């Protein structure tokens, strides 16, 4: 009774794990970027634009 070789199975499993890992990482990074990071940056930029407008209004007086 001989045991079948498993050479291709390990390579396929490693390739599948790496592909799924990169895919999930890319999806999660994209979700973070657009759902968390971009709104925070937009809020900060709006705050500094408001401060700049207030300073320019005070300097004009």
Domain ranges of the chain: 21-61
CA angle 20, 23, 26 (to 5 degrees): 150
Number of residues that this document lists for the chain: 61
Mean pLDDT (the chain) is 92
Which tens digit of pLDDT belongs to each residue from 15-24? 999 999 999 9
Which tens digit of pLDDT belongs to each residue from 34-47? 999 999 999 999 99
């Amino acid at each position: 009774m001989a045991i079948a070789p498993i050479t291709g199975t390990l390579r396929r499993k490693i390739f599948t794990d790496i592909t799924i890992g990169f895919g999930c990482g890319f999806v999660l990074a994209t979700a973070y970027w657009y759902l968390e990071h971009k709104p925070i940056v937009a809020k900060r930029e709006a705050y500094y634009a408001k401060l700049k407008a207030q300073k320019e209004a005070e300097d004009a007086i």
